[in-house]
Amino acid sequence: MCCGTKVCCFCLCIILVVIAIGMLFGFGVFKHGFHKLKDTVHDYDPTALLLVPEPPATTKPSEPQLEYFTKKMGCIYKDPNAPIESRIKDLLSRMTLKEKIGQMTQIERSVATLTAIKDRCIGSVLSGGGSKPFYKANSADWADMIDGFQNAALESRLGIPMIYGVDAVHGNNNVYGATIFPHNIGLGATRDADLVRRIGEVTSLEVRASGAQYAFAPCVAVSRDPRWGRCYESYSEDTEVVRKMTSLVTGLQGQPPEGHPKGYPFLAGRKNVIACAKHFVGDGGTDYGTNEGNTMTSYDDLERIHMAPYLDCISQGVCTIMASYSSWNGTKLHTHHFLLTKILKEKLGFKGFVISDWEALDRLCVPRGSNYRHCILSTVNAGIDMIMVPFRFELFLEEFMSLVELGEIPMTRIDDAVERILRVKFVAGIFEHPLSDRSLLEVVGCKPHRELARAAVRKSLVLLKNGKDQKIPFLPLDKNAKRILVAGTHADDLGYQCGGWTATWEGKSGRITDGTTILDAIKEVVGSKTEVIYELHPSPETFSGQGLSYAVVAVGEAPYVETGGDDPVLKIPLNGAELVSLVADQVPTLVILITGRPLVLEPWLLEKIDALVVAWLPGSEGHGITDVIFGDYGFLGRLPMTWFKSVDQLPLHIGKQNSYDPLFPFGFGLNYENKGDLN
């Protein structure tokens, strides 16, 4: 009980202070601290805080809450019906420098703690090649992991969702059980833009099922030299073929409506993913086919040969573009203000965001990773909007913050980058639908998807030889032959069949995912009375007294990626030529070449064999090969690259008219009537 007026007034003051503090805690002011509230540009209405609490960031606001925030507090960015540019402007005005820089940061999932995502306002998380929740993780496992990251992002002060990126370059190839399509070099052999679009649609569904919203595809490099270790990621040496295959963008993102503003990003709905055209620009034209090398050419040729496919991607509303590791005339693309800003953003009108490649900043200085501060400065000021750090993000954020505070990176550059990132997030509907759609899990690796992959394999096969005598075709093979031999390193190896960027970064041998090998498919298609003998490396005893009707020998390249695939000699690896010669000396032989590029084919070897089919890197559906070699379908594929006689001729492509003397010209492909070039 109070005993005196002065004491009562004092107690009353204490009570009022306690009530005020309680109300502030209840409505979340102390949740972020006064220093953070003062750090924002937006001036909050203090009376409004006493009326309606902000809804939890992990849940979608109710209609009354949404109406309240929009009309009373002017929280336009939370209104899905507001114009996107208005939402961007509103959200940007509320963001601190720390939050803006966080949005420009992409980190690898292995270092992405929930606390870091929330407190640093990280804009994007990715899985590097082969980085997964655990071995043989399926789509549901991926969705669990990604939703966990997303919930952390939604708990940040402004509730800005992150985007999760994956290298879905031939299907959702990191995920066990996903449909694996032929690599781009094989799709280029089909010349079928609509097929590629449909592959994009299937890929988007399977990526979305895993919870990811962002696919680092398509690669629209124009590969001019097969010595390049990323040759199989290119559709062709010919710009026009690559331009046709940019239809993958529409498959992934959906078809923009008529009149959609050129350069403005587009995404149709929840079943589509953010695409990424890469690697800008000229990565396929480096000297000697050196990965991350130097492309020496005029601007006119750079624009005509290598830049043209990006115009098609931009016209389809591609959301993001990735810069190349390579250089143009000695200047690294990641620091090239003229190409990234003056050309890509200003001349071509690209309004999405430009992202760096993996650890690209570390590659800008010698020794690698040194002078990190300068690397950040030169890259961001050149026009890179989001940086794929991916590991040492704490140092990155610290140095980045300092550069902005000292004025070395202007706030106008920061705001431009963040506007572009937010634009893509709003366009993609991630604010409204941040979490995975579990209803899509049932379509992953389903029969219709695998049938499409099988059709893609069929259409990609290129027949280079069919019979030692052109009047007597060797193919199609007889399904009811008495006894056949299947041999070679690639006949029963799903990992070799899929190539790099499958299950792991480099790819590997073995049953790495669900699928059908060439041997599996042969055993299924031949008659019940046909005996199939399989030996990886046949011994001389195999041929004695066996009465073999014919042999199918599958050889080719072991999986590789990027610089590890650079090859100055381009011989068939794993003693492939010797194995083919051994078998062809004993029995009529079909050779199936599993490769990401043209390889050396010696004249003596070509003379020995009866038929030669290039299957490229076909993916998980081996039935696509047997569909054609046994005659159920015809050959439709045409060479997407010139097949050279000798590596001394390289680079050899259709642009070198004065010295064009190939073994097989660009566009070559036989059919069952031996009519020659299908072109």
DSSP 121-186: T--EEE--TT--SSTT--HHHHHHHHHHHHHHHHTSTT-PPPEEEE--SSSSTTSTT---PPPHHH
167 touches 174 (CB < 8 A): yes
Say if strands 320-323 and 276-280 run parallel, antiparallel, or are unpaired: parallel
Amino acid identity, position 627: D
Facing residues of 353 across strands? 320
Cα gap 91→139, rounded to integer Å:
32
Q: Name the 3-class secondary structure at 355.
A: strand
The 10 Å Cβ neighbour count of residue 394 is: 13
Q: Which of 233, 562, 566, 567 is catalytic?
A: 562
Residue 357 among the catalytic residues: yes
Integer CA distances (angstroms), 441 to 137, 176, 205, 624, 663, in order? 13, 12, 9, 25, 46
* CB under 8 A, 24+ apart: contacts of 65-74: 72/45, 72/48, 73/44, 73/45, 73/48
Tokens (6 digits) for 617: 């890197």
Amino acid identity, position 175: V
Sheet containing strand 124-126, edge to edge, reads 214-215, 163-166, 124-126, 105-108, 387-388
HSE of 6, CA atoms in CB hemisphere, 13 A: 0
621 touches 516 (CB < 8 A): yes
Residue 506 among the catalytic residues: no
For 90, residues 6+ apart whose C-beta sits below 8 A from its C-beta are 74, 75, 76, 77, 82
Amino acid identity, position 603: P
Cα gap 124→135, rounded to integer Å:
23
Closest by CA to 182, choosing from 623, 619, 621, 639, is 619
**β strands within 508-647, DSSP E:** 531-535, 550-556, 589-594, 611-616
Cα 543 to chain centroid distance, Å, stands at 45
Q: Which of 283, 357, 493, 506 is catalytic?
A: 357
Cα gap 185→280, rounded to integer Å:
19
The residues assigned a catalytic role are 357, 562
